[in-house]
Amino acid sequence: MADQRAERIAEFIAPLRVRPGSEVNLSTDFDPGFKAGIAGKKDGRELLQTGVALLADYQRRLAAENRYGVLMCLQALDAGGKDGTIRHVMSGVNPQGVHVANFKVPSNEELDHDYLWRYACRLPRRGEIGIFNRSHYEEVLVVRVHPEHLDRQRLPEEAKRKGVWRRRYREINDWERYLHDNGFRVVKLFLNLSREEQRSRFLKRIDVPERNWKFSAADARERSWWDDYQEAFSHMLSATSTRWAPWYVIPADHKWFARICAAAVLAHTLISIDPQYPEVGEKARHELFVAKEELLAQAPPGAEADPYAASVAADGERRHGR
């Protein structure tokens, strides 16, 4: 059953994966409105719930084993649905084992270090799932579209010369391979939003008073750079989708479908890790037996000696109609 489930998930996300070494043209290779034949939100609700339950199970195992960590990087244009994806996909997991890092304009302290330093400081620990809401890929996206940001990074002149983006792609790939080799899996999701859907979401943020706080006039102005961003995304996906950290392009025009896809990719990663609950050694098992005997002897009059065992037995009898 587990193998069949893993195969179904792998088959579902295969069209979203950017093949390492391929040349991506975002505007023609990936459809933001793709729904994989699922009719609508109602039909996808059960799929999302199944994915969330699966993630909860594997997250518990990940934390118990405490050997691997997972980093999920979310990239998207404004209104791409990053916050909603995090909120829905991670709704069933233990919040103690998940940490979200949001990256805004670099602080003076962050600018005093190399460009990857602030991201390295927010990496998850073993047994945890870390989420970067925007990530180190901002350094080859917004900084590339707006090169004035590069001038603010206090780099020596030779670090800003021709080839800076090609070098950064290599450095990011090497860093992610280092993380992978040390037991940290990097999951990279690009929420691919169409220009018209972004316009519609911006208008909704203006029209609905409770959403006004989510809108910034700067977001609307940034739309004038749409083609530049599409080109930057295409270069990024082509250069940094690797065997150890591939990119998945998530169709984001339908929020419900984007969440199903995100859950499936994360579940696929956890299934491939296959974390296990630690086995109890012979000495520890004997100590458990002794402790259980002591607890059974402490049962008050009229109480079940082992309430949990009694409850399981009663459930079994009900299922078999006894």
**Residuewise pLDDT in 10s, the chain (322 residues):** 456 778 889 999 999 999 999 999 999 999 999 999 887 888 788 888 888 999 999 999 999 999 999 999 999 999 999 999 999 999 989 999 999 999 999 999 999 999 999 999 999 999 999 999 999 999 999 999 999 999 899 999 888 888 999 999 999 999 999 999 999 999 999 999 999 999 999 999 999 999 999 898 888 899 999 999 999 999 999 999 999 999 999 999 999 999 999 999 999 999 999 999 998 888 888 898 899 999 999 999 988 989 988 888 888 777 776 5
End-to-end CA separation in angstroms for the chain: 29
- At residue 96, the 3 state secondary structure works out as helix
In the chain, beta strands by DSSP E: 69-76, 98-102, 129-133, 184-192, 247-251
In 125-202, beta strands by DSSP E: 129-133, 184-192
Residue 301: half-sphere exposure toward Cβ, Cα within 13 Å:
0
Q: Take residue 279 and report the two structure tokens written for it.
A: 């086995």
Give residue 282's pLDDT: 85
Give residue 159's pLDDT: 87
- Model confidence, pTM: 0.90
Q: Are strands 184-192 and 129-133 parallel, antiparallel or unpaired?
A: unpaired
Q: Could you give the CA distance from residue 231 to residue 25 in angstroms, rounded to a whole number?
A: 8
Give residue 322's pLDDT: 57
Give residue 41's pLDDT: 84
Q: Could you give the CA distance from residue 126 to residue 183 in angstroms, rounded to a whole number?
A: 8
Rounded to 5°, the CA angle 297-301-307 comes to 65
